[in-house]
Structure 1
């Protein structure tokens, strides 16, 4: 369905789940990419408290042992947000507010770097407060943007444009026209773009202007609606579709 869920399996065996989609179907997907006996995930990242990103995390926290939960610290008293915080407390996971400059060490030279938020975002609109992180392994990188809007994408260019270049970009906000600023794309300069979205979503994601932009830039795009789960493997030098 409409939503985001990104599973990172580092060469060291460390695992990260970034968002959990809209419902418990995330458990079925995790079952396909994790060994059946594996009942722990090192780090869970909730990019922002919208239902299509965090509802599934409630089920994940009930089923898996989770050590750390990163979230932006947005005050949003919705059902899914409250259920998730309750699950975090029940699980006994350590809750961390994601802030620019934090590095999540995944071992063997792989790491996740938090690029945003760079301040307190407790009363910021949820998409604007989205965690933006870059997964780096050797010479390869993945830009993971949550639902971050163009204003934040362009702000990241101004903060430090040298930290953006990535092999794969997860298009912001499911391919909405409110994200994928041409300026930002120029600095990310991805080889591949992924749209994470539901087929019949009511928002019309991905927006045709965004699809045309990637076509014009000759960047191949992959779409979870038509392809289902999309997997990439990095050897630290190149990235290929699995």
Structure 2
């Protein structure tokens, strides 16, 4: 009798746990019409995680090392082991080093990369991991649209041609994330010559609520011309606290101040997350 009562109690507890787990997963999977964009605190480098209202996910760059896995675990459910799209913007190690581990841990459907060629051992290891993953590989070109569902999409602004032999920063993949009336400008390490070229091509179409400061706040990016057309409410410096490059440069800080743009910094704030309902963008 006692054994039967014990088994009944155990069965009820197991069923309760399973039911609670199912409801928790369902709750976590319901984005409630919200787009979430997280600029991950991965030290000196870039890594941006996009969670669309449809549930589709994009990772733009992976920072310098495996530390990105810990940061991804902080912004995505523990059971989630897939990412729909990964974009290594260019071969520099501070952007792609962590993707080696990401590709080993997560199942990736599509990889969108620049045609710019890398020559480092890190980039060779990334390319080997891409091949092993078996994901669909797309070479980025201006005009491509990545449909994230439920009205969210990512548009490629640059490069506008094959760029196998240019400087890696010149050939990096510049994207703009759009959801409803809101948008995020994500210019990788693009220098001012690319920024100003985009102003000529797109003008007011560059306007975005959030701008990731190009090249971690270096003075080689964030030209006043470009920043003025983007006209963001927020700018984000993605960088390590004690980086040897002096990022962000005071000239860039002054540019944002001149335009009354609120500048945020992963060094001092950790991972920076924004939420959009398609009408407004708020910092979480």
Provide the TM-score with structure 1 as the length reference.
0.99
Report Cα offsets for 1:187-226 as digits up to 9, x if no partner.
1000000000000000000001110111121110000000
Match of 1:53 among 95, 99, 107: 95
Does 1:176 find its partner at 2:176? no
Q: Distance in 1 between matches of 2:197 and 2:223?
A: 11
- Any residues of structure 2 matched to 1:1-242 within 5 Å, and which? 1-242=43-284
Pairwise CA distance, 1:162:
3.2
- Decide which structure has the larger Cα Rg and report it: 2
- How far apart are residue 140 of structure 1 and its match? 0.3
- What are the Cα deviations for residues 156-196 of structure 1, in whole angstroms up to 9, with x where unaligned? 01112132000000000000000001111111000000000
Provide TM-score, normalisation by structure 2.
Answer: 0.84
| Deviation of the 1:80 alpha carbon | 1.2
- Higher RCO, Cα 8 Å, sep 6+: 2
What's the CA shift for 1:72?
A: 0.6
How far apart, in 1, do the equivalents of 2:259 and 2:230 lie? 12
Q: Give the aligned partner of residue 25 of structure 2.
A: none
More helix, by proportion: 2
Gap regions ≥5 residues in structure 1? none
CA distance in 1, matches of 2:156, 2:171: 13
Please, which runs of 5 or more residues in structure 2 have no aligned partner? Answer: 1-42
Determine the C-alpha separation between the residues in 2 that align with 1:30 and 1:50: 20
Partner deviation per Cα, 1:4-29 (whole Å, 9 max, x = no partner)? 00000000000000000000010001
